Amino acid sequence: MFAQTQLRKRCTNWLLATGLLLMLTSCAEPPSAVERIKEEGVLRVITRNSPSTYFQDRNGEAGFEYELVKRFATHLGVELQIETADNIEEIFARLNRPGGPALAAAGLVASEGRQGIARFTDSYLDVTTQVVYRRGERRPTQPQDMVGKRILVLKGSSQAEKLKALQTELPDLRYEESDAVEVVDLLRMVDEGLVDLTLVESNELALNQVYFTNARVAFDLGEQNSLAWILGKDEEDDTLLEAANAFLAEAKENGTLQRLRERYYGHVDVLGYVGAYAFAKHLQERLPRYEKIFRETAKVHGVDWRLLAAIGYQESHWQPDAVSKTGVRGLMMLTLNTAKAMGVTNRVDPVQSIQGGGKYIALVHSNLPDSIKEPDRTWFALAAYNVGGGHLEDARKLAEAEGLDPNKWLDVKQMLPRLSQKQWYSKTRYGYARGGEPVHFVANIRRYYDILTWVTQPQLEGQQLVQSEIHTPGINSTDLGESLPPL
Ligand code: GLU
């Protein structure tokens, strides 16, 4: 009886939604949500435009949420259609509207308060709410310390929900919510001292830390939270929810989720506060001197100039007279042999150094086996640039012997540190290597590269709020015509 009523309700809803009244007579089995999506051939997803969710980079659409949900659409065999909302409340409103998007993939927490207004998939990322204060101010260490402070959070956010709940214990706690800002703005406002505190999720802070070097974690508020996709409150049809959960389980199982986490969040801790601060400063003070030559060299070799610039930063912090104990020198830290082979006569001449480094990375990249595909191919090229192609080959063989994939950076990077342990390197062709080094080398460069990509993306043009806080002098974000995919 109950099932029949449900079926009729679903049927009527569907008819109202589609207006196909002619189907009235043959409506014994209305299509489920998943069937409808497959029939239409489109999965409509709503999200926020932010570095953790969805944004444009040099190759088009990007972001953790975007990439994950894109794979879900492919898994369903349909096209993905992304819509962006101006604020969090709009996401929930549009999800629950007839004819609205099928789901939200928007970096949102499956919070208690939201359970009544939406349905959540299983979690795909564990995060923590962090209270953020300004460096140099007194650091709050517990919720009581937030009383009397100017606090701003996103309107309708999980953080606002937490603050509201806290007010029962701390009635003097005051906070404001805004629907006109994004997480990047909140962090900038703390960074510049416009507000005292904000609350953001740990993944958002980790991605943005480098732009806001004065914004620091005061303390973690509460237990771990789960990020999940969200569906509207349609009790009758859980087919899409079930399909999404099955997909997420599979993505966990086959390593897709881990690879995406690695891509977007795996290297965010690499810099630390000191490194992030220094990078922001050097971006302003040093990069402008070499940007032109990075761009020109990159063009010659068909590589992305930001990757070359990232290598240069990792090698010497963009200092042309850098020297290391092991005799490598110059902005791109070339060995004497490499310099000679690349036609560099004076290693401390920054122009020659960048040209030599560019030529060398392009060569290393093209010498890799064809079986290594992008984006891994770029990470392998960097590792080979650092440790040498022979050692990298040894690590690939070790990976294969362990049943790992020798063409995946995530797998081979686990093997590289073994090259410094006798039990392993004694069995390899090229022997001992400081195998941990290329792993750090690649992680650092990826971090610098991501930052350079983010600050030069075309989408930031004209977005005053965002552009004003990013330290970009010298980077001409309008001049992206020449940028190419990495290598
Ligand atoms: N995750 C937050 C929420 O669920 C959005 C902003 C943030 O991650 O800091 O409302």
Mode of pairing for the β-strands spanning 125-134 and 197-201: antiparallel
In a domain, 22, yes or no: no
70 lies in a domain? yes
Q: Using 50, 70 and 90 to split pLDDT, how confident is the model at 131?
A: very high
> 318 vs 472, which has greater pLDDT?
318
Same structural domain, 110 and 243? yes
Q: Is residue 14 in a domain? A: no
| Torsion angles phi and psi, residue 161, rounded to 5 | -60, -40
What is the residue type of 447? R
Residue with tokens 């309708």: 156
DSSP-assigned letters across all residues of 402-449: TT--TT-HHHHHHHGGGGGSHHHHTTSSS----THHHHHHHHHHHHHH
How far is residue 145's CA from residue 194's CA, in Å, rounded to a whole number?
18
416/113 Cα distance (integer angstroms) = 46
- Closest approach atom of ligand 1 to CA 159: 10
Q: Do both 109 and 241 map to the same domain? A: yes
Dig out the tokens for 4 from the structure. Answer: 């029949």
The answer as to whether 239 is a domain residue is yes
Task: Provide the 3-class DSSP secondary structure of residue 129.
Answer: strand
Task: Identify which of 90, 125, 200 to mutate to test ligand 1's pocket (most ligand atoms within 8 A of the CB).
Answer: 200
**Span 65-85, average pLDDT:** 96
Predicted local distance difference test score (pLDDT) of residue 458 = 52
Tell me, in angstroms, the distance from the centre of ligand 1 to residue 139's CA.
Answer: 22
Whether the CB-CB separation of 49 and 41 falls below 8 Å is answered with no
Q: Please, which pLDDT band fits residue 25 given cuts at 50, 70 and 90?
A: very low
Separation of alpha carbons 265 and 206, rounded Å: 8
User: What is the H or E stretch that residue 82 is in?
Assistant: strand 79-84
Residue pair 34/76 in contact (Cβ under 8 Å)? The answer is yes
d(C-alpha 293, C-alpha 312), whole Å? 12
Q: Report the range of poorest mean pLDDT among 82-86, 252-256, 445-449, 479-483.
A: 479-483
pLDDT in tens, 327-358: 789 999 998 889 999 999 999 999 999 999 99
Which stretch of 9-23, 35-49, 152-166 has the lowest confidence by average pLDDT? 9-23
Give the percent of the chain with pLDDT over 90: 63
CA quadruple 451, 457, 462, 463: dihedral positive or negative?
negative
- Among 340, 368, 372, 370, smallest CA distance to 356 is for 340
What is the rounded distance in angstroms from the CA atom of residue 13 to the CA atom of residue 114? 24
Domain boundary among 206, 237, 266: 266
- Residue 17 domain-assigned (yes or no): no
Contact call for residues 201 and 222 (beta carbons, < 8 A): no
Cα–ligand 1 centroid distance for 102 (angstroms): 20
Domain of residue 293, residue span: 274-456
The average confidence (pLDDT) of the chain is 85
Determine the Cα–Cα distance for residues 19 and 13; give it in Å rounded to an integer. Answer: 10
Residue 93 pLDDT grade (very low, low, confident, very high; cuts 50, 70, 90): very high
pLDDT at 346 (0 to 100): 95
Amino acid sitting at position 2: F
Q: Which residue has the higher pLDDT, 325 or 143?
A: 143
- pLDDT for the residue 60: 67
Q: Note whether 261 and 315 are same-domain residues.
A: no
Kindly tell me if the per-residue pLDDT of 12 is higher than 60. Answer: no
Q: What share of the chain has pLDDT > 70, as a percent?
A: 84
**End-to-end CA, the chain:** 63
Query: Per the domain annotation, does 391 fall within a domain?
Result: yes
Do 282 and 397 belong to one domain?
Answer: yes
Task: Examine the domain organization and report whether 235 and 155 are in the same domain.
Answer: no
Encoded tokens for 3: 């099932």
In this predicted structure, which of 189-193, 422-426, 455-459 has the lowest mean pLDDT? 455-459
Tell me the C-alpha distance between 46 and 50, whole Å: 13
Q: What is the pLDDT of residue 247?
A: 98
Q: How far is ligand 1, taken at its centre, from the CA of residue 138, in Å?
A: 25
Place of tokens 């992680």: 443
Token duo for residue 246: 């099955």
Mean pLDDT of 439-454: 87
Is 55:459 a contact under the CB 8 Å cutoff? yes
What is the side-by-side order of every strand in the sheet holding 215-227?
176-178, 151-154, 197-201, 125-134, 215-227
Which CATH number is 221's domain given?
3.40.190.10
- Domain match, 202 and 236 both: no
Answer yes or no: do 286 and 418 share one domain: yes
Are 255 and 144 contained in the same domain? no
Report whether 352 contacts 344 (CB < 8 A).
Answer: yes
Pocket probe for ligand 1: among 48, 92, 108, the residue whose CB has the most ligand atoms within 8 Å is: 108
Type of residue numbered 420: S
Within 13 Å of residue 379, how many CA atoms lie on the same side as its CB?
24
| Ligand 1 binding pocket, CB closer than 6 Å | 88, 107-109, 154, 157-158, 183, 200-201, 204
Q: What residue type is 142 in one-letter code?
A: Q
Cβ burial, residue 423 (10 Å; 0-12/13-18/19+)? exposed
What contacts 98, CB < 8 A, 6 or more positions away?
16, 17
Average pLDDT over residues 285-314: 95
Residues 259 and 380 in one domain: no
Q: How is the beta sheet containing 79-84 ordered, strand by strand?
A: 79-84, 42-47, 103-104, 230-231, 119-120
Interstrand relation of 79-84 and 42-47 (parallel, antiparallel or unpaired): parallel
Cα 99 from Cα 293, distance rounded (Å): 52
What is the band of 63 on the pLDDT scale with cuts at 50, 70, 90? confident
* Helix/strand/coil for 268: coil
Q: What is the DSSP string of 43-74?
A: EEEEE--BTTTBEEETTEEE-HHHHHHHHHHH
Ligand 1 pocket test: pick from 109, 121, 181, 185 the residue with the most ligand atoms within 8 Å of its Cβ.
109
What ligand 1 atom has the least distance to the C-alpha of 158?
10
pLDDT, residue 277, reads: 72
Ligand 1 atom showing the smallest separation from residue 186 Cα: 9
Of 311 and 188, the one with more pLDDT: 311
User: Does residue 56 lie within any of the structural domains?
Assistant: yes
Residue type, 32: S
φ/ψ of residue 126, rounded to 5: -95, 130
Does residue 118 share a domain with residue 209?
Answer: no
Count of structural domains within the chain = 3
The residue count of the chain comes to: 487
pLDDT number for residue 143 = 98
Q: Give the distance (Å) from ligand 1 centre to CA of residue 106.
A: 9
The pLDDT assigned to 128 comes to 94
Nearest CA to ligand 1 atom 9: 200
CATH (domain of 327): 1.10.530.10
C-alpha closest to that of 306 among 54, 475, 53: 475
Atom of ligand 1 nearest to the CA of 160: 10
pLDDT range class, residue 28, cuts 50, 70, 90: low
**Helix, strand, or coil (residue 134):** strand
Write the pLDDT tens digit of every residue in 220-239.
Answer: 999 999 999 999 998 789 99
> What's the rounded mean pLDDT across residues 70-92?
96
**Cα 390 from chain centroid?**
31
**pLDDT: which is higher, 406 or 261:** 406
Task: Tell me: do 359 and 449 sit in the same domain.
Answer: yes
Is the pLDDT at 5 greater than 80? The verdict is no
- Whether 485 maps to a domain, the answer reads no
Q: Which residue has the higher pLDDT, 313 or 324?
A: 313
Residues 104-117 have a mean pLDDT of 95
For residue 182, report the distance from its CA to the centre of ligand 1, in Å.
10
pLDDT digits (tens, 9 = 90+) for 447-485: 888 888 877 665 443 332 222 222 222 222 222 222 223
**Could you tell me the pTM of the whole model?**
0.64
Q: Tell me: pLDDT of 171 over 90.
A: yes
Specify whether 41 is located in the same domain as 144.
Answer: no
- Sequence-distant (6+) residues with CB within 8 A of 168 are none
For residues 132-145, give the mean pLDDT: 96
